[in-house]
Amino acid sequence: MPYLKVICNYCNEPFLKETCRFNESINRKWNMYCSKECRLKARTTRTTLTCDNPLCKISFERLQKEIIKSNAHYCSRTCAISINNKKFPKRKAKIKECIVCNNKFTGEAKCCSIECRKKKIESLIIPGKIIIDLIKVFYKKNGRIPFKKECSHYYAARGRFGTWNKAIEAAGYSSNPVRFAKKHIAKDGHKCDSLSEKIIDDFLYRKKIKHAIHVPYGKCNMTADFKVDDTLLEFTGLVGQLKAYDKLLERKRAFWKEYELKVIEIHPTDLFPVNKLATILAQHV
């Protein structure tokens, strides 16, 4: 079968084409291509554009159907994002306060986490009478009003009564004063600076452990909350709440280390919600 030498209409490279196919293409006014690739490329309409990012300005090709009818064209997502972020800055997310734990968060929900959402649901389910009964039982057992950390249904109490102190008042008791603002008398007659100190003092008295309270030491007129034998007990109740207290505690710790004093630090988490004094003071009990 005879062949003719023909020029590709896309790449302009010569190739051989059957004479009958050549005549057919001429009669039907078809373009002739050397390969399927050239035919596909010829049928694909592409336009050369210039990136509108002033720091880029490179030329690139894009299919006609991919060209967005807008005033700007970019060679990549990186260029588009770098320009559009300046033109249309994102709004700052609105910071909200969780209705349960008061933590700051962003989002559409009213609670910051699944745990807080469960506590909110709990506050709607548990009746106020159960909360009041729990407060009364705690008072009969311990002889004092419970702190909110000691109540397993604290969030339910807030949901039912508005605040923890209002729940205390609903149970028929006077609401708690500030934890470290009122003096308390321990069972052995010691005058304690806080209810937490009274709890420690009463524990030592109940276990018949000889102890002294507010024992001065050092050259800076510092005092330890308690002293048992040659060991000092320090209740760190205001850590992270007062800068002056934090600085004083740092000075105390430096003094303890320098003079190799035996000191046991008792933290609020050692008293509430579970009293761990028996474990901490095991060697003295």
- Eight-state DSSP code of residue 82: H
Q: What is the pLDDT of residue 21?
A: 87
Mean of pLDDT values over 250-267: 89
Cα 106 to Cα 90: distance, rounded to the nearest angstrom: 15
Cα 282 to Cα 255: distance, rounded to the nearest angstrom: 25
DSSP string covering 150-210: G-TTHHHHHHHHSSHHHHHHHTTSPPP--TTTS-EE-TTS-EESSHHHHHHHHHHHHTT--
State the helix-helix crossing angle for 154-161 and 128-142, rounded to 10 degrees: 120
Q: What is the pLDDT of residue 178?
A: 47
Tally of CA atoms within 13 A in the half-sphere of 127 that contains its CB: 3
What string of H, E and C letters represents the secondary structure of 53-75? CCCCCCEEEEEHHHCCCCCCCCC
Contact (Cβ atoms closer than 8 angstroms) between residue 217 and residue 232: yes
Instruction: Please report, as a single letter, which amino acid is at residue 95.
Output: I
Tokens 């991919």 found at:
66
The residue that leads in pLDDT, 158 or 188, is 188
pLDDT(285) > 60: no
The residue that leads in pLDDT, 218 or 157, is 157
**Mean pLDDT taken over the chain:** 82
Highest mean pLDDT range out of 85-94, 109-118, 199-208?
Answer: 199-208
Mean of pLDDT values over 153-158: 78
Q: What is the pLDDT of residues 212-228, one digit of tens each?
A: 999 888 666 788 899 99
Q: What is the pLDDT of residue 97?
A: 82
pTM across the whole model: 0.45
Cα 280 to Cα 266: distance, rounded to the nearest angstrom: 8
